[in-house]
Chain A
């Protein structure tokens, strides 16, 4: 079986806005979601820079029992999912009568783990942790909570693949639907923003310390970049077979044309050029497209010196002859990590449907590798028919996904 696979609804809760409309406006206007968190200084962080996000109040949406097992990133994922299902014209009645699965990207749940261990050490009594701690603490917290809340009865697990987690989640759903194992899968990624979850990453000196200019700190591909800025939120996509989406009368957001993956088999944190190149080539091959068919690339580029260089070289290898427009929306969002693959597919689909390229803000001076690429630093009106999004992560995991406008 080889079915066409589409995205029939998207929802987002991010540092750029609390829904698709707000995020669309922020992307178009090149708005940054980065700021300073003074608490990080008290905790001994090297960098106080982070994405700034307001936690939603789920009390108006969910019962105590439904809320008690949900950690920070699960709150964002829930808000994004309400919007995605609504946009996909899926309500609780539909969910109770049809099988929908969930594959969600998440790779940490630090605060509940830290708080529960602190409490046990203090009280020597595990019963005092209460009933929600275990469900908040596990990596699969989002998929387990959302599957219960939305009565999902298809495939159900979390994909943990570092900063490519949610891109792989979408890729896996695409394969399952393409080959007939599922009709509809809720996909996405959630990322906690609390400082405790970022301490060990800060300890690697991987974050920017441009404290005097927070909104200028994330500068992918720019010569003056000095590290990434941690960020987060929730992003959800309803991935579905074309016939299922059409039967429900859904407005199709995009078609998923191809998924490519690879593993560097190399260093745990330092990326290389070969792995991402292979992921890009496999994605094009899976989509049956040549490099010149891609109208825009949403780069993984996180604003780290080595990471951006390796991606520049991979992009130049595969797309160097075509001057393909490229931007990294992480210049505005910071690095949304486990959520980034899903959110950047949503950002790419917004650009495709609204015919513009969101800018790679803060790109002022290229380095010797990025000068060979067509980095878009100002919002550009352009018809986009086919776009590609890259996501890479620690351990050398790589994912690339191609989306196109749906045509009959």
Chain B
């Protein structure tokens, strides 16, 4: 899967599922400080990643993900 496709999928679920405004979703957006996500939301992100990209996510693998670019990199590395 191309990186641009990964980004499209992630941006779409951030807008549809998490009701985040499109204009704050940038590559360098901080998941907590800019997107307003909190600890419980990461549980739901794990569910969506597995559904959309077809691999199992371990919570500990996500601990270094700070901004959206980190998330794209992580997904890319698992595909």
Residues of chain A whose beta carbon lies under 8 Å from any beta carbon of chain B: 63-65, 68, 125, 127-132
Residues of A within 8 A of B44 (CB): 68, 130-132
Contact B40 A131 (CB under 8 A): yes
Contact A127 B46 (CB under 8 A): yes
Contact B41 A131 (CB under 8 A): yes
Complex Cα gap A63–B21 (Å)? 13
**CB closest chain-A residue, reference B57:** A127
Q: Shortest Cβ distance from B42 into chain A, in angstroms?
A: 8
**CB closest chain-A residue, reference B19:** A64
Interchain CB contact (< 8 A) of A65 among B38, B47, B50, B57: B38
Residues of B within 8 A of A64 (CB): 17-19
**Which of A125, A131, A132 has the most chain B CB atoms closer than 10 A to its own CB?**
A131
Residues of A within 8 A of B17 (CB): 64
Q: Shortest Cβ distance from A69 into chain B, in angstroms?
A: 9
Residues of B within 8 A of A127 (CB): 43, 46-47, 57, 59
Interface check B56, CB cutoff 8 A: yes
Complex Cα gap A65–B47 (Å)? 16
Contact B38 A128 (CB under 8 A): no
Given contacts A64-B18, A64-B19, A125-B56, contact A130 B38 (CB under 8 A): no
**CB closest chain-B residue, reference A128:** B47
Main secondary structure of the interface of A (DSSP, over half): loop
25 A-B pairs in the complex with CB atoms less than 8 angstroms apart: A63-B19, A64-B17, A64-B18, A64-B19, A65-B38, A65-B40, A65-B41, A68-B44, A125-B56, A127-B43, A127-B46, A127-B47, A127-B57, A127-B59, A128-B47, A128-B50, A129-B47, A130-B43, A130-B44, A130-B47, A131-B40, A131-B41, A131-B43, A131-B44, A132-B44
Contacting residues of chain B (17-47) with chain A, CB-CB under 8 angstroms: 17-19, 38, 40-41, 43-44, 46-47
- Given contacts A63-B19, A68-B44, list 20 more A-B pairs with CB under 8 A: A64-B17, A64-B18, A64-B19, A65-B40, A65-B41, A125-B56, A127-B46, A127-B47, A127-B57, A127-B59, A128-B47, A128-B50, A129-B47, A130-B43, A130-B44, A130-B47, A131-B40, A131-B41, A131-B43, A132-B44
Residues of A within 8 A of B46 (CB): 127
Q: Shortest Cβ distance from A349 into chain B, in angstroms?
A: 38
Residues of B within 8 A of A132 (CB): 44
**CB closest chain-A residue, reference B56:** A125
Complex Cα gap A300–B56 (Å)? 52
Residues of B within 8 A of A130 (CB): 43-44, 47
Residues of B within 8 A of A68 (CB): 44
Q: Shortest Cβ distance from A70 into chain B, in angstroms?
A: 14
Complex Cα gap A65–B39 (Å)? 11
